[in-house]
Each structure stands twice: as structure tokens, then as C-alpha cells.
Amino acid sequence: MIAIVDYRAGNLSSVARALGFLGHACEITDRAQAIARAERVILPGVGAAGATMENLRALGLDRVLLERVIGAGKPFLGICIGIQVLLDSSDENEADCLGVIRGRALRFPSTVDGRRLKVPQIGWNRVNLLREHPLFEGIPDATYFYFVNSYYPRLTDPDAALAVADYGLHFVAALARGTVMATQFHLEKSGAAGLRMLDNFCRL
């Protein structure tokens, strides 16, 4: 069973629908027990890092994720806001995050080289792989994925970076360390490439 963490925000059902389409059983849940017992855990969704962390803490799920999932070596996948909560902190609401990966979520600048940058980034962008990883199995370099984000991860732990994209600046679009993986782009909205990666995660 795959647990999709319900932290009372964002649209979680699209990830559940994609897993259903792929034939993987999943449950959207905020119950610590269910998350601790799951084989794999996905933290998806759009939203603000501050509100997400507050909700996770209020539900006691920050500890469950750190101790029973990530600490226990279970495959964990963060999507969009799910990549940012893995970092130490975020510019968004000056939030303290889970601190699993060294780094901070920064806001895209409003101008680059005197040209306006539209924030949030909304649309399909190329993702360039930095190294091989089972999560990207079968995905060619420079495949397009769907992004919706105003903030991007800046890692002080560059070894964790898995792929980068370019939106005014180069940023980390996917990361992985041990059994922890995360993408800034929406796997559940990225067509067949996103489905393939979700499927890869479920088979790890």
C-alpha cells in the first residue's frame, strides 16, 4: 500500500488517480499509523511551505515522516511542495522545514538580466539529468515536465541533486538521497513521462 499524505491542503486526488490508472493501490490519509505502516509514502500537492509545515506539525506527521518513513528507509517521494518541505527552510513564510536535505527554497527573481520573469512558472520545461537514477529509468534526458512553482530548491548539499531545469536561472528540479526522492515538477500532470516516473517509484 502506498500512503499519500493528507496535510489538509492541495489537490491530492490527482496523484491518487494517476496511481489508480497505473494499477497501484494507494490511500490518501492523515493517520500516523497508516503512514507508518505504508510500504511507500508520497507527499504531493501545491501550496505554501509555511502552511504545509504547520499542518504537518499539527497532525503530528512531521515526526512520523522523519522517524517512521524517511528514518526507517522507506521509499519517500515528494512532489512540488513535497520537495521544498524536505529542505532546511523556505523563503515562503520564512518556514522551517523537515531538514532532510541541506538547502533552502528561494523565490524566483522577478527580473533576470533586466527582463521580467513571470512568477509563478507555469508550464512545460525541459529537465536535464545530472546522473542516472532508478526514478528516471526509461526517461530520456531533456524530457519536458509540467511545473507550477514560485519557489525553487537551492541545495547546499549538491550531491543530492538529480536533475536541473532552467527558468531564468538553473535550479534543482529533482533530487534523491538514499530512499528519499523528490521532484519540483508535477509527475501526475506530466503525461506519460510523469506516469512512467510514478510507476518507477512504485516498483523501487
Partner 1 sequence: MLSKRIIPCLDVRAGRVTKGVAFANNVDVGDPVTMARYYYEQGADEIVFYDITASNERRGIMLEVVEKVAREIFIPFTVGGGLRTLQDLRAVLLAGAEKVSIDSGAVRNPGLISEGARAFGSQCVVLSMQVARREPGARLPSGYEVVIDGGRLPTGLDALEWARRGQELGAGELCVNSIDRDGTNLGYELELTRRIAEAASVPVIASGGAGAPEHLLAVFNQAGADAAIVASMVHYGRYGLPELKRFLRQNGVEVREPFWPQRSLS
**Applying CB under 8 A, which residues contact partner 1?**
10-11, 13-14, 17-18, 20-23, 46-47, 110, 116, 118-126, 138-140, 143-144, 146-148, 166-167, 188-196, 199
Looking at beta carbons only, is 139 or 182 nearer to partner 1? 139
For residue 18, the minimal CB distance to partner 1 (Å) is 6
Residues 26, 92, 97, 188: which is the catalytic one?
188
For residue 23, the minimal CB distance to partner 1 (Å) is 5
For residue 190, the minimal CB distance to partner 1 (Å) is 7
The partner residues of 116 in beta bridges, in order of sequence, read 111
Pairing mode, if any, of strands 76-79 and 161-166? unpaired
Looking at beta carbons only, is 17 or 57 nearer to partner 1? 17
The verdict on whether 80 is a catalytic residue reads yes
* Pair 76, 40: CB distance under 8 Å: yes
Looking at beta carbons only, is 14 or 102 nearer to partner 1? 14
For residue 119, the minimal CB distance to partner 1 (Å) is 7
Looking at beta carbons only, is 73 or 123 nearer to partner 1? 123
Residues 26, 92, 186, 202: which is the catalytic one?
186
The verdict on whether 97 is a catalytic residue reads no
For residue 103, the minimal CB distance to partner 1 (Å) is 23
The verdict on whether 133 is a catalytic residue reads no
Give how far Cα 184 sits from Cα of 10, 98, 106, 188, Å. 15, 16, 13, 12
Cα three-residue angle 198-199-204, rounded to 5 degrees: 100
Looking at beta carbons only, is 15 or 86 nearer to partner 1? 15
Residues 26, 80, 97, 202: which is the catalytic one?
80
* Pair 155, 162: CB distance under 8 Å: no
Amino acid, res. 187:
L
Q: How many residues does the chain have?
A: 204
Alpha helix stretches (DSSP H) within 59-127? 61-63, 81-84
The partner residues of 84 in beta bridges, in order of sequence, read none
Give how far Cα 133 sits from Cα of 52, 150, 173, 175, Å. 28, 26, 14, 10
By annotation, the residues acting in catalysis are 80, 186, 188
